[in-house]
Amino acid sequence: MNMNKRNAIKSVAACALLAGATVLFSACSEKKVEFRGIDVTGAEYARDLPLTDHNGQQRSLKDFAGKVVVVFFGFTQCPDVCPTSMQELAEVKRSLGADGDRLQGIFVTVDPERDTAEVLKAYMGNFDPSFLALRGSPEQLAAVAKDFKIYYKKVEGKTDTSYTMDHSAGSYVYDPAGRLRVYHRYGSGAQALAADVATLLKEAK
């Protein structure tokens, strides 16, 4: 092998080694996003919300592209968990200032029997007029709840209409690209949720 060919091979090998080192350095230097809630990035569930909002419009997560979407399942006659969660979400939106317009709150009722469109619209008005409430038929709700791994069950009361609902309590947080990224258990607090929403908004810029 002549000297020129030997030097050329050495040069190629050196370049390949340098390129490999550069890729390795870049991979190591990429800082993983840290959330205050449970990181569920890459989850294959909770893919969409094919339900109708309180204005009668059929909805999908694609409708909110460019926004962080926070989804909570509950019912309007819930005495504590549901109003607390929605109030915290409204607090998060206010804390974001101008970026609050890039947050979409979604409330999915697990009690479509009593939660009519009119009832849901009034309920959202107690927290933020931009928040949307979704409802569907019992069959549609069951399908969505299964996809979101949500538990809900009717608990009979003293009369036919005085029943309550047991249900999972937590918020699903989607990034502006429509990907599920974080799950917040009930009780995490507005501050933790606000931090994760701000992180996702910053990530999208």
Q: Which amino acid is at 85?
A: S
Please enumerate, as own/partner, the contacts of 124-131 that have beta carbons within 8 Å and a separation of 24 or more: 124/54, 126/83, 126/86, 127/86, 127/87, 127/89, 127/90, 128/89, 128/90, 128/93, 130/93, 130/104, 130/105, 131/86, 131/89, 131/90, 131/104, 131/105, 131/106, 131/107
- Residue 180: burial class (beta carbons within 10 Å; 0-12, 13-18, 19+): buried
What is residue 82's predicted lDDT score, i.e. its pLDDT?
Answer: 97
82 labelled binding-site residue: yes
Q: Which amino acid is at 156?
A: E
pLDDT along the chain (205 residues), means of 10: 45 43 43 90 96 98 97 97 98 96 98 97 97 97 97 92 93 98 96 97 89
Task: Give the three-state DSSP class for 48.
Answer: coil
pTM of the model: 0.84
| Residue 146 Cα to chain centre, angstroms | 16
What is residue 47's predicted lDDT score, i.e. its pLDDT?
Answer: 95
- CA neighbor of 145 nearest in space, from 80, 49, 13, 27: 49
Spatial contact of 168 and 151, defined as CB atoms under 8 Å apart: yes
